[in-house]
């Protein structure tokens, strides 16, 4: 389905649903962290993704064959996805939900820097300054957590780096593979890569009670739906409209963290969160304006 420009409200509502579901899924992973191993959490997350999406691809009749030259990119994307989710679930075992999300949202700055230094993309001084300010805000969030839990406070930085690479790989193949098929294939690949883990988790599976199993399945469903909503939102509204909305994950995550875990960021972390959000929104808005200027610019003679 192509993007439908006259339905931006639907796109915004779908992105809003993503911003609620994503931290809600993270909160369930945090709840399960004390009772279920990390390997089990990650495996179930991808297994449910495959179970939901494979029938959708099958029904569409598009098959699972990938365009020539994209298999190794999809495998790399899947490995990065596994690593990113694993690091995120690990971070949630130590840090409050809002702080974890805020630190991980340094990702847009990392993507900007990778684009500049790795892909030789032009990045102006204004966006470079915004990156520097955003990193300062992130450090303000990390500092009180580092004092409390030590090096695990740096795990969300790993999440940001891995998902920045994940997004760059996704951008490289997104025009060649349907989004739902890409997610379905990713789920199958992740299950295959994580299958050896079953040898270690089999005794754990038999020891789980029905309530924990139900929560694991709900975690997988929420994670899959969140990514589908984000993908579908881009069909109905432009990315420039939706990108700033992703920062709503932080206030929603704060509210969910307070409601479920009675966790709220302290004063220093709250100040850092606001700085990070402001710098990130500035980068996104400026990127959008520069893209519009480039589109309207006359072609070179």
Decide: 24 and 148 in contact? Cβ < 8 Å.
no
- For 4-27, what is each residue's pLDDT tens digit? 445 778 888 998 999 999 999 999
More confident residue, 236 or 201: 236
Say whether pLDDT at 203 is over 70.
Answer: no
Of the listed ranges 91-100, 183-192, 238-247, the one predicted with least confidence: 238-247
pLDDT band, residue 237 (cuts 50/70/90):
confident
- For 93-124, what is each residue's pLDDT tens digit? 999 999 999 899 888 888 888 877 777 777 77
Say whether pLDDT at 283 is over 80.
Answer: no
> What phi, psi does 288 have (nearest 5°)?
-60, -45
- For 144-167, what is each residue's pLDDT tens digit? 888 888 999 999 999 999 998 998
- For 32-82, what is each residue's pLDDT tens digit? 987 888 888 999 999 999 999 999 898 887 788 888 889 999 999 999 999
- Percent of the chain at pLDDT exceeding 90: 39
Structure tokens at 40: 């089990």
Predicted pLDDT at 112? 80
More confident residue, 289 or 259: 259
pLDDT band, residue 290 (cuts 50/70/90):
low
pLDDT band, residue 205 (cuts 50/70/90):
low
Predicted pLDDT at 240? 65
pLDDT band, residue 1 (cuts 50/70/90):
very low
In sequence order, the 6+-apart residues with CB closer than 8 A to the CB of 243 are 284, 287, 288
Q: Looking at residues 268-280, what average pLDDT do you find?
A: 88
């Amino acid at each position: 389905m192509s993007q439908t420009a006259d339905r931006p409200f639907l796109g915004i509502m779908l992105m809003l649903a993503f911003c609620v579901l994503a931290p809600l899924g993270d909160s369930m992973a945090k709840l399960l962290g004390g009772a279920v191993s990390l390997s089990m959490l990650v495996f179930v997350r991808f297994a449910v993704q495959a179970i939901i999406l494979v029938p959708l691809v099958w029904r569409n009749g598009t098959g699972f064959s990938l365009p020539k030259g994209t298999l190794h990119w999809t495998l790399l994307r899947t490995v990065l996805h596994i690593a990113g989710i694993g690091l995120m679930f690990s971070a949630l075992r130590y840090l409050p939900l809002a702080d974890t999300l805020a630190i991980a949202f340094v990702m847009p700055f990392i993507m900007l820097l990778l684009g500049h230094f790795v892909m030789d993309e032009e990045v102006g001084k204004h966006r470079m300054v915004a990156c520097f300010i955003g990193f300062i805000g992130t450090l303000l969030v990390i500092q009180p957590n580092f004092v409390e839990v030590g090096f695990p406070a740096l795990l969300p930085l790993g999440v940001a780096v891995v998902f920045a690479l994940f997004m760059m790989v996704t951008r490289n193949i997104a025009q060649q593979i349907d989004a739902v098929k890409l997610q379905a294939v990713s789920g199958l690949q992740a299950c295959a890569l994580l299958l050896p883990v079953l040898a270690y988790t089999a005794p754990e599976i038999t020891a789980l009670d029905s309530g924990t199993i139900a929560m694991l399945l709900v975690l997988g469903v929420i994670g899959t739906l969140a990514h589908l909503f984000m993908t579908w939102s881009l069909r109905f509204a432009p990315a420039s409209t939706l990108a700033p909305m992703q920062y709503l994950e932080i206030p929603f995550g704060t509210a969910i963290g307070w409601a479920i875990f009675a966790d709220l960021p302290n004063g220093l972390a709250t100040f850092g969160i606001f700085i990070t959000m402001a710098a990130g929104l500035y980068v996104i808005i400026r990127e959008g304006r520069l893209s519009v200027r480039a589109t309207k610019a006359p072609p070179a003679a």
